[in-house]
Amino acid sequence: PDVRIDVVTIFPEYLAALDLSLVGKARQRGLLDLRVHDLRDWTTDRHRTVDDTPFGGGAGMVMRPDVWGRALDEVLGAGATLILPTPSGEVFTQRHADELATAEHLVFACGRYEGIDARVAEHYRATGLDVRELSIGDYVLNGGEVAALVMIEAVGRLVPGMVGNPESLVEESHGAAGLLEYPVYTKPPRWQEIDVPDLLLSGHHARIDRWRRDEALRRTAGRRPEMIAALDGTALDKHDVAL
Ligand SMILES: COC(=O)COc1cccc(COC(=O)c2cn[nH]c2)c1
């Protein structure tokens, strides 16, 4: 298979969604080797304890380093990338998805409670492993499982052979030189008294392309002005500047 993905979590059933659709088919076709592991399989006590109280006090519980260490020592391989979904991580973007899609082995460690003992990331970094603490956005979830699903879908769909039509990968929603997607329409031409813009029915493909670019620019300037600022000089042509 092109990519191997392991997920370690105390809620393995959360990842059952990965048996469906694209990712599910790719697994059946052997394109993707995805395995989900229950962290509690590496506990040593009768209660299968994975957490304990935080040093320094404070509310909540912290996930124990020894349990995670036994699990990750078994799941990780030399060439693996360890990904820790966390609110305090670097924000995951399409750039990360593009990069991680070329990795040979991704291991997601899903934290719960107040987090995983910080020495886990520190230890595996010290061994030279590529360790990424990644956030999927500025909000707090109860655990890393949903974030792992997001990242696995974003990466999985880029794995060659995963998506039915590779064409659909080209003009991505953050494609078109880092702009938001233009509005899309389909039949019927009139719905709830609203008409599809006439130009789109005209067949003038050059004008349609220009209209789409203008709409993408307008939307980006309105909703994500910081993305306009981030465009490099080549992204805008003289017509855009006039907008
Ligand atoms: C070193 O990593 C850790 O300690 C991870 O610990 C936790 C603790 C609570 C929740 C989560 C899940 O991630 C998010 O909530 C999250 C990710 N993106 N946006 C929100 C992870």
ipTM score for this prediction: 0.98
Kindly report, residue by residue over 134-146, the tens digit of the pLDDT. Answer: 999 999 999 999 9
Q: Report the alpha-carbon distance of residue 214 to residue 223 in Å, rounded.
A: 14
Q: Report the alpha-carbon distance of residue 199 to residue 99 in Å, rounded.
A: 38
Q: What is the rounded average pLDDT of the residues 92-116?
A: 96
Whole-Å CA distances, 9 to 18, 155, 184: 14, 19, 38
- List the single range of 43-52, 71-80, 166-175 with lowest mean pLDDT: 166-175
Q: Do 33 and 129 belong to one domain?
A: yes
- Domain assignment of residue 199, given as a range: 176-235
Give the alpha-carbon dihedral of 7, 8, 12, 17, to 10 degrees.
Answer: -20
The predicted pLDDT at position 242 comes to 66
Q: Report the alpha-carbon distance of residue 11 to residue 19 in Å, rounded.
A: 15
Nearest Cα residue to atom 13 of ligand 1? 86
Q: Do 73 and 184 belong to one domain?
A: no
Q: Do 150 and 217 belong to one domain?
A: no
- Closest to 14 measured CA to CA, from 147, 117, 116, 140: 147
Ligand 1: list residues with CB < 6 Å.
Answer: 84-87, 111, 115-116, 121, 133, 135-137, 139-141, 143-144, 147
The alpha carbon of 113 and the centre of ligand 1 are apart by a number of angstroms equal to 9
Nearest Cα residue to atom 20 of ligand 1? 87
In the sheet with 105-109, reading across from the earlier edge strand, the strands are: 32-38, 3-9, 105-109, 80-91, 130-135
Q: Quick one: pLDDT band at residue 164, thresholds 50, 70, 90?
A: low
* Residue 171 in domain: no
Structural domain tally of the chain? 2
Q: Report the alpha-carbon distance of residue 136 to residue 47 in Å, rounded.
A: 32
Q: Do 106 and 149 belong to one domain?
A: yes
Q: Do 149 and 220 belong to one domain?
A: no
The predicted pLDDT at position 39 comes to 98
On the question of pLDDT at 163 being above 80, the answer is no
Residue to probe by mutation, ligand 1, list 86, 140, 151, most atoms within 8 Å of CB: 86
Neighbours of 37 (CB within 10 A): 18
Q: Do 89 and 140 belong to one domain?
A: yes
